[in-house]
Amino acid sequence: MDSDLRTCRACKKPIRWILTAKGKAMPCDPDAIRFNPGVGKEIFVATDGRVLRGQRCNFGQLEGFVSHFATCPEADMFRKSSMKKTQGSKEE
């Protein structure tokens, strides 16, 4: 279903929203890949909806989608926008 494809606001790459087992949608790279859970630092959503930490591997045990937050070259933008505060430095 390509209707799930969107464009990342930050880097303009195609992303796919994958529904996790908890019912939350997570932005992921559009192509399914294989990965090994339990090692590595990237976040994956397995095809069954489980969110797992793992490392991509062509012969990995599981198939899933890698979180776009991990691969987005502009990921800092997401963090910055969530950290933005209205408080400015006051001059007296």
Q: Which residues bind Zn ion (CB under 5 A)?
A: 8, 10-11, 72
For the CB of residue 90, give the shortest distance to Zn ion in the complex, in Å. Answer: 35
For the CB of residue 75, give the shortest distance to Zn ion in the complex, in Å. Answer: 7
Q: Which is nearer to Zn ion, 10 or 62 (CB)?
A: 10
Q: Which is nearer to Zn ion, 26 or 72 (CB)?
A: 72
Q: Which is nearer to Zn ion, 11 or 70 (CB)?
A: 11
Three-class HEC string of 22-67: CCCEEEECCCCEEEEEEEEEEEEEECCCCEEEEEECCCCCEEEEEE
For the CB of residue 83, give the shortest distance to Zn ion in the complex, in Å. Answer: 18
Q: Which of 75, 60, 80, 84 is nearest to 11 (CA)?
A: 75
